[in-house]
Structure 1
């Protein structure tokens, strides 16, 4: 029996809660996972799972073995990482999670450049606006815009992103350009669907306003908001990273320059553990450098740990 493989299979099966989920992640079949777990139980002479029609649940011995197995696997990964670090070799599979818009517009290109620089690395980029459980879903690195951030992660603040009003020149020519925040009331406002209320908060220096807006179109996807503005659908609050290229090309323009919405914070996170694989450290360092070269991000100085920011939306 391949003991390390069996232990990894057991750990991920417990964390994911099912044989099928573990099989999908590990690139094998459900019968193979079941066989490995049975061999491990036979080797240990203990039952690790209670099996029922409702699924799997760990026994007391299983819960204890999970904690000890995690330490063994972390120690093994640390030893591998030390050897790889001595040679500078970066290899293995990275599972990265990011919001859909940020992932498609910005992180996708970063991943491509990282793969070109490290031929022994594989990357699975999972784009989802949902805040996932990194441990349960086997994610090595996650990018987060705003918060709140989960307590069981480590990471760093990557950048601060300005957010402001934008629209297409054609829309403003047709409907007129607002000269003051109160003028927004008479305009079509494209709004992120999860943003509550019928007002927006704006500030200019020390002056802060809450402005009523009419949102006949609400959408839960940042890329759809970007496209809606290009299609002359109205005015929206956008983070700089989302429309930086469109502003540069003139496809969109800033509305009420000087009036800003609350800025967005970008974080890169990894699960809390004693050891981080070399590929995780290498990608985070690479991403920090890459974001410093992308328009729309005000990259922060290196920070110690993560502070939970207020929740923000696109």
Structure 2
């Protein structure tokens, strides 16, 4: 049995918390995963995991071995990536996570282009609006838009996203065009369902205002907000990338053009600066280049900003 593969199975089984979850990830069966773990334990002459019908947990020896095994895998992948880089080849599975709307509207097409450039790389694109744990869920890179990053986050700043008020011309013709921020109190707001509070923050230079708003319609999907605004449901705060094409086509217009909402930062996160497989490094560089020219994203300052 391939010992390196057994190490991978052991590491992911601990990270996922069950043999069945590891089996799904490796495209095999739970008995096969169990056999791989048993093989590793026989080689080491040590029990690595405690098994039960409900849970799986590492022994003290298993917990200690996990850190070393993970380091071996990372070093091996880095060595392979170095050789592949010399030959210009990259292969394997790349797991990418992104927010739903950003993924559908921008990342999906970007991934298709990347795959066309690298035919030996497979991609699994996972779209959800929660902050995933990259290590625990086996994600290679994750796009993060706005919000607070984890304190130990490693990644690259891709862009700053302007946000502003927009509405359909038909809605403004029906309800009136706000001339000053205080006029917004008489309008319907289309809001993201999970946004806390009912106020909107607006900025003009050094000026800042916080205004109460009324929302008859709230939805937990940015593409649904986009459609609702086009249909004339109200005024909404939207990122530039979401509505740039609609503004250009005249289906939406800026409201209170001198005022903007707080901008968002877009990051591409990854588990570690060290031992990144070649396919991961290639995608990070590719994505950074894409966002430098993509409409709705500002990229001031240095070409690379790591944290």
Which bracket does the TM-score occupy, shorter chain normalised?
A: over 0.9
Q: What is the alpha-carbon distance in structure 2 between the residues aligned to residue 273 and residue 49 of structure 1? A: 29
1:24 alignment partner in structure 2: 24
Report how far residue 293 of structure 1 moved. Answer: 1.8
Specify the alignment match of 1:44 in structure 2: 44
CA distance in 1, matches of 2:223, 2:154: 28
- Does 1:253 find its partner at 2:253? yes
Separation in 1, partners of 2:234, 2:5: 55
Deviates more, 1:241-250 or 1:45-54: 45-54
Count, aligned residues: 306
Structure 2 distance, partners of 1:179, 1:58, is 63
Flag structure 1 segments of 5+ consecutive residues without an equivalent.
Answer: 307-314
> Which 4+ runs in 1 deviate beyond 3 A?
none
Following the alignment from structure 2 to structure 1, what is the Cα–Cα distance between the partners of residues 147 and 230? 28
Q: d(CA) in 2 for partners of 1:223 and 1:6?
A: 43
Q: C-alpha displacement at 1:273, in angstroms?
A: 5.0
2:216 is aligned to 216
> Partners of 1:201 and 1:111 in 2: how far apart?
34
- SS of 2:95's equivalent in the other structure is strand
The equivalent residue for 1:271 is 271
- Offset at residue 151 of structure 1 (A): 3.1
Cα distance, 1:147 vs structure 2: 2.6
Output the aligned Cα RMSD: 1.1
In structure 1, the partner of 2:79 is 79
Q: Post-superposition shift, 1:152?
A: 3.5
Counterpart position of 1:125: 125
d(CA) in 2 for partners of 1:253, 1:283: 35
- Cα deviation, residue 212, structure 1: 1.3
- The one-character-per-residue Cα deviations of 1:202-246 (angstroms, maximum 9, x if unpaired) are 111111111111012111111111111111111000010111111
Kindly indicate whether the alpha-carbon contact (under 8 Å) linking 1:166 and 1:236 is maintained by their aligned counterparts in 2.
Answer: yes
Q: Distance in 2 between matches of 1:20 and 1:206?
A: 55
Q: Is the 8 A contact 1:77 1:275 kept in 2?
A: yes
Greater shift in the superposed pair: 295-304 or 175-184: 295-304
Any residues of structure 2 matched to 1:56-205 within 5 Å, and which? 56-205=56-205
**Match of residue 262 from structure 2:** 262
2:6 matched residue in structure 1:
6
Alignment partner, residue 306 of structure 2: 305
SS of 1:162's partner is strand
Distance across 2 between alignment mates of 1:123 and 1:64: 32
Q: CA–CA distance in 2 between the matches of 1:299 and 1:161?
A: 9
Q: CA deviation at 1:48?
A: 0.7
Query: C-alpha distance in 2, partners of 1:48/1:273?
Result: 28
Deviation of 1:274 after TM superposition, in Å, equals 2.3
Q: Deviations over 1:257-311 (max 9, x none)?
A: 01100001000111025211111111111111111221100024234422xxxxx
Q: Which moved more, 1:186-195 or 1:8-17?
A: 186-195
Separation in structure 1 between the aligned mates of residue 78 and residue 195 of structure 2, nearest angstrom: 43
Deviations along 1:119-176, whole A, 9 cap, x unmatched? 1110000001000000000000000011311233311111011100001111111111
CA distance in 1, matches of 2:153, 2:257: 37
Q: Tell me the SS of whatever aligns to 1:275.
A: coil
Q: 1:266 to 1:124 in 2, by over 3 A?
A: same
Give the secondary structure class of the aligned counterpart of 2:35.
Answer: helix
Gaps of 5+ in 2: none
Q: CA deviation at 1:67?
A: 0.8
